[in-house]
Structure 1
Amino acid sequence: MSEVKNILFIMADQLRADYLSCYGHPHLKTPNIDALAARGVRFTRAYVQAPVCGPSRMSFYTGRYVSSHGSTYNGVPLRIGEMTIGDHLRPLGMRVALVGKTHMTEDRKGMQRLGVTRDTIEGVFAAECGFEPYERDDGLWPDEVNPRDLAYNRYLREQGYNVDNPWHEFANAGRGADGKILSGWLMRNARLPAAVKEEHSETAYMTDRAMDFIAEAGDTPWCLHLSYIKPHWPYIAPAPYHDMYGPGDVLPANRTEAERENAHPVVAAFMEHEESQNFARDNVREAVIPAYMGLIRQLDDHLGRLFAFLDERGLTENTMIVFTSDHGDYLGDHWLGEKELFHEESVRIPLIVCDPDSRADGTRGSVNGRLVEAIDLAPTFIEAMGGEVPEHILEGRSLLGLTRGERREWRNAAVSECDYAFRRARQELDRTPGNARAWMLRTERWKYVEYDGFRPQLFDLENDPREHNDLGDDPDYQPIREEMHERLFDWMRSRRMRVTISDEEVEQRTDTHKKRGFLFGVW
């Protein structure tokens, strides 16, 4: 029997793996996350299935690749028929709840077609990605969306921030010398302290709400998805975190002039986006990255508060804690801003799994370099709770074999996907919304990117770990590209498409037509 009773599934938004001290950042200290890694397994080659919020999270929650679940970009609804973590864990007796962000867009047309409404518990789960929305807040609330009734805004008004949208005017804005609101949406204001008190900021508030849920849950086994909004933009941190780091702590950008001069057509189009043009400037990086680092340090401090809360209640000994991110952030590396493409800064994530089971004692504090994927968490949680993993549905692999030192067959490649139909790059490249796709295959040595309508990219990560030299049109590497193309096609053929019946049921029904009275082809 597993010794896991509860699961605390923590996700930061837009947090790069290399911006934690346990992953090697030389200036940014994250002692509480480091301490978690010392009690668990730190995975160094973990990859998301899409380096953008919505589809990445839908893969985390469904345990399925983007091509399988179909939610390819932010705002693309997840089909109502897709099962999520909550659907798998609730039958095992768990309360499965959310505090924070999912970026889920409900399948309203599907719900209407089936007569499913939000005034039923089934409708709530369908609209909230399978979670009980204890505190749903996706964290992006410009005035145009009228967020007055947002719970966090109501909380801020109770604390004395008496405006319609204190999320914008206080939590994500600073003040000029004349008291003028200087919005965090504008990166030039990243050096300012947010106008909100630190204890009232989004990170502090979500930590408080997580502790409220845990206290309320009592003895009921629970899975809490604590999904922090930061360090995602707006890049602005409350004091004292706003000036904890400075330009001297900003690492040189990982980019070369040759990358820009000889860029792949799709990458070149992304380089023309406003965020990339701005992050190409050193003064922008020196203003924004210290704020980004401050937001991460603030997150670490509040995780320390949360971990102490678990210790005080004796919950640490039976709670599996997972810490990860939904994707990275270019921050000017490779002449790019934001995320979406497949360089390590964008597609690789931190992943720490602290398994309280005594069978994991032999791996505590270890570093694992296996190629793991975001979709591996759903089967991990099911197995940890003693459930049977539905392998005809889930495309990930449980990590418990790795946390508990067992010998299990493992994958030799990781896959990620990109749908850039919603981005200006697609128009600049004269692509239709249906043919703006890309796929990454990352093996032990190679990273191969296939594009719809353009030449591929190829990087030799053994000899070029910083991904400066694209071998996608080098004739000497044609055999490697052909091999990787075939491996990607192998992956496409192996996706889980028959999800309504298990392989065991198929075995039971195979060649039984005569027993069932169907005598076709008999003389």
Structure 2
Amino acid sequence: MVDNVLWIITDDQMRWTLSRMPRTRKRLVGKGAEFSRGYAAVPLCGPARASILTSRYPHDHGCLTNATHTRFVAQRHDRDTVATRMRAAGYDTGYFGKYMNGMGRDATYVAPGWGRWVGSSVGNRETVNVDGELRELASRQAVERFAYRKLRRFVRRHRDTGPWFAVWGPTAPHAPYTPSPAHRHDFDDVQWDPPALNEADLSDKPTWMRDLPPQERAEMRRLLEGKLEELQDLDDQIGRLLALLRKTGQLRRTWIFLVSDNGYLLGEHRLVHKEQPYEESSGIPYVVRGPGVRPGTRRALVSQVDLMPTTLDIAGLDPDAGRDLSGRSMLQPLRTGDWGRWRRRLLVENPDLGWAMLREGSTAYIEHHERGEWELYDLESDPHQLESRRGADVTDVSRRLTLLRQARGKELRAREV
């Protein structure tokens, strides 16, 4: 029987917070591959989701701000996504939860390729779109619960049928934080004092950062508490979903991918939010569980753009049929454990803010190409990016980065090795 595929895309989740989700760690991470070097194509919600759905980097799809939806549709990117290809291959498809930013003015939109559509929008927090019909619910939490119930019904309906491909997009742990009463006080005493919090010396950072005021430590701690408590609710839901897959006899033939759209800065380098190239923002949780995947941590450089080609490969499709994808299929190395022919370097970018980053080995090279500035870190000796190596010769690494951010498809993949 052909395998099912489930994507779980969280919202604003830092990579390290997986350690605070016990059910997910035991039943998903512990049974699959966790990537310690998983990255967003761009650390911003809407553009990242455009990259996930199309296996294009932002400089290719051109959706650079969180007003993503209108531009995405205008360029007809929605006509060739992982959903349209999987649907054409005979998969039943379903989307449940947050899809893309900027859909508030197009509330009845149903993206092509999805046989079942239960979409929510940041702009309409109490509204859910069920196959083009709008329903008003009591709260954001009610919308979240509704989408989750519909996902469970979709999974249950396929007990004896298949194959299917589904995406679940919970908004956790995105602000405002509204954990359930069961978890509202789970992290009341959490402490927050990472090495980069309110970094004392910003002289090695871009000029625009050097006069940033320190962030209020208590506020950063409060935001962290909200995130961790919301993640407990998500942890419960993931646990119940895995139990349902097992109960219906589908778990052994279902691939599960867990990623986030981006990470989040909570006062590191005096920054709050996302969009920036630092590990806290651009690094994301990245987990794959599936048939034949050996449990353990992988150090391969992986990106959101790899989700689509891997999923198409699972379905027995050529990922490059019709259009070259910029991501790579992980299917073979996931099954064999041999990552020797995988990419050596990886692009992360934010064209809207004029920066791009090259990750290669332990190196993180950040080029602010519109400002003529750069940063260079060795993440083995300086994992918190506290001291850029200002005296280094960056000629070669800058050239490699430039070539990557000007390429797409097979050309980009060739430049990664």
Conserved? CA contact 1:47–1:373, under 8 Å = yes
* Pair 1:41–1:439, CA change in 2 (3 A): same
CA shift digits 1:355-397 (9 cap, x unpaired): 12xxx2xx42121101111111111001111111217521111
| Aligned residue in 2 for 1:454 | 372
Q: 5+ unaligned residues in a row in structure 2: which ranges?
A: 412-417
Q: Alpha-carbon deviation of 1:312?
A: 0.9
CA shift digits 1:80-108 (9 cap, x unpaired): 046210122112111222100121557x9
Equivalent residue letter for 2:167: H
Q: Alpha-carbon deviation of 1:234?
A: 0.8
* Pair 1:240–1:259, CA change in 2 (3 A): farther
Matched, 1:286 2:192: no
Q: Give the whole-Å Cα distance in 1 for the aligned partners of 2:318 and 2:87.
A: 13
Q: Alpha-carbon deviation of 1:133?
A: 5.3
Matched, 1:492 2:373: no
**1:267-278 map, 5 Å:** 267-268=209-210, 271=212
**1:74-473 map, 5 Å:** 74-76=66-68, 77-78=71-72, 79-81=75-77, 83-103=80-100, 105=102, 124-126=110-112, 130-132=113-115, 134-141=117-124, 154=135, 156-157=137-138, 166-167=139-140, 171=141, 201-217=142-158, 219-252=161-194, 254-255=196-197, 257-260=199-202, 262-268=204-210, 271=212, 280-356=215-291, 360=292, 363-390=293-320, 392-405=323-336, 407=338, 409-420=341-352, 436-451=353-368, 452-471=370-389
Once the two structures are aligned, what percentage of the paired residues are identical? 26
Rg larger in 1 or in 2?
A: 1
Q: Give the whole-Å Cα distance in 1 for the aligned partners of 2:77 and 2:221.
A: 46
Q: Give the whole-Å Cα distance in 2 for the aligned partners of 1:231 and 1:148.
A: 19
Conserved? CA contact 1:95–1:220, under 8 Å = yes
| Aligned residue in 1 for 2:414 | none
Conserved? CA contact 1:246–1:286, under 8 Å = no
Q: Alpha-carbon deviation of 1:317?
A: 1.4
| Aligned residue in 2 for 1:503 | none
Secondary structure (helix, strand or coil) at the match of 1:137 reads strand
Conserved? CA contact 2:14–2:281, under 8 Å = yes
Q: Count residues with an aligned counterpart.
A: 400
Equivalent residue letter for 1:80: R
Q: Give the whole-Å Cα distance in 1 for the aligned partners of 2:129 and 2:318.
A: 38
Secondary structure (helix, strand or coil) at the match of 1:243 reads coil
Secondary structure (helix, strand or coil) at the match of 1:18 reads helix
Q: Alpha-carbon deviation of 1:61?
A: 0.7
Q: Alpha-carbon deviation of 1:203?
A: 4.4
Equivalent residue letter for 1:443: E
Q: Give the whole-Å Cα distance in 2 for the aligned partners of 1:248 and 1:5.
A: 41
Q: Alpha-carbon deviation of 1:150?
A: 6.1
Q: Alpha-carbon deviation of 1:202?
A: 4.9
Conserved? CA contact 1:99–1:226, under 8 Å = yes
CA shift digits 1:291-349 (9 cap, x unpaired): 21111111001111111111111010111111111111111122111100011110111
Q: Give the whole-Å Cα distance in 1 for the aligned partners of 2:118 and 2:268.
A: 34
| Aligned residue in 2 for 1:482 | 395
Give 2:56's match in structure 1, choosing from 59, 64, 67.
Answer: 64
CA shift digits 1:222-253 (9 cap, x unpaired): 11100111101112322121111123443446
Q: Give the whole-Å Cα distance in 2 for the aligned partners of 1:240 and 1:386.
A: 43
Conserved? CA contact 1:138–1:229, under 8 Å = no
Conserved? CA contact 2:11–2:170, under 8 Å = yes
Q: Give the whole-Å Cα distance in 1 for the aligned partners of 2:344 and 2:185.
A: 43
Secondary structure (helix, strand or coil) at the match of 1:367 reads strand
* Pair 1:90–1:153, CA change in 2 (3 A): closer
Q: Give the whole-Å Cα distance in 2 for the aligned partners of 1:329 and 1:343.
A: 9
Equivalent residue letter for 1:455: E
Secondary structure (helix, strand or coil) at the match of 1:71 reads coil
Equivalent residue letter for 2:87: R
* Pair 1:233–1:132, CA change in 2 (3 A): farther
TM-score norm. by structure 2 comes to 0.87
* Pair 1:52–1:81, CA change in 2 (3 A): closer
Conserved? CA contact 1:38–1:364, under 8 Å = no
Equivalent residue letter for 2:184: H
* Pair 1:87–1:287, CA change in 2 (3 A): same
Conserved? CA contact 1:98–1:224, under 8 Å = yes
Q: Which structure's residues are more often helix, by fraction?
A: 1
CA shift digits 1:388-428 (9 cap, x unpaired): 121752111111122111546211111111144xxxxxxxx
* Pair 1:241–1:390, CA change in 2 (3 A): same
Q: Give the whole-Å Cα distance in 2 for the aligned partners of 1:42 and 1:51.
A: 19
Q: 5+ unaligned residues in a row in structure 1: which ranges?
A: 22-27, 109-116, 158-165, 172-200, 421-435, 499-523
Q: Give the whole-Å Cα distance in 2 for the aligned partners of 1:389 and 1:153.
A: 34
* Pair 1:324–1:466, CA change in 2 (3 A): same
